[in-house]
Structure 1
Amino acid sequence: MDTTAPPVLVRYFAGARAAAGNTREETVSASSLDHLTVLLSERHGERLALVLKTASFLVDGLACHDRQVALPAGATVDVLPPFAGG
C-alpha cells in the first residue's frame, strides 16, 4: 500500500465485483479516483481496468464525477459499473 495516500474502503457491485475476482470490498491507499483506478487495474488486471473506464463512483454515498479530486482518509468508494437499461 502507498503510505503517502489515505486508506479508503472500495466496494464493488455487479460486474465490477465479477471483474475484481468476486472481491466484495478491499482497502486501498489512493489519493484520487484516477490514482485508485490505476492501483485497482494493476491489482486485478485488464478485465477490471475496462470496467473502471466506464464505471460510476460514489464517495461516501455521493456521486463523484471529478476523478482528480482528493479522496478523504477513511472514505468509502463504491464502484458501480454501467447497468443494463441505464
Structure 2
Amino acid sequence: MLTVRYFAGARAAAGGVSSEQIAAGSLEELAQIVTARHGERLGLVMKSASFLVDGLTCHDRQAALPVGATVDVLPPFAGG
C-alpha cells in the first residue's frame, strides 16, 4: 500500500480528498487507479503533475514504487 497525498488542484480534482491509501506498483498504475476512482478530471491533472516519492522527485512513471511509500501529487503551479 502507498499513501497518496493530493495538493492544490489535485486535491480539488479528487473531490477534496487530501490523502488515501492505494495499492499500486508504479506511478502509471497509480494514475490509472485514481482516475478510475475519482474521474477524468483527476486523470488530466495526473498527466501534467509532478510526483515526489518519499520526498524525492520521480520522473519515471514506470519505475517500481517501494511498498509503504508516500507519493505526493503536485499539479503545475502558477505564480511569480
What TM-score do you get using the length of structure 2 for normalisation? 0.97
Superposed displacement of residue 85, structure 1: 3.6
Aligned mates of 1:10, 1:65 — CA distance in 2: 16
In structure 2, stretches of 5+ residues that fail to align are none
Superposed displacement of residue 71, structure 1: 0.5
Superposed displacement of residue 47, structure 1: 0.5
What TM-score do you get using the length of structure 1 for normalisation? 0.91
CA deviation profile, 1:36-68 (whole Å, cap 9, x unmatched): 000000000011001000000000000000000
Match of residue 17, structure 2, among 18, 23, 48: 23
Letter in 2 for 1:35: E
Superposed displacement of residue 33, structure 1: 0.3
The alignment of Structure 1 onto Structure 2 pairs a total of residues equal to 80
1:45 matches 2:36: no
For the aligned residues, what is the CA RMSD?
0.9
Identity %: 69
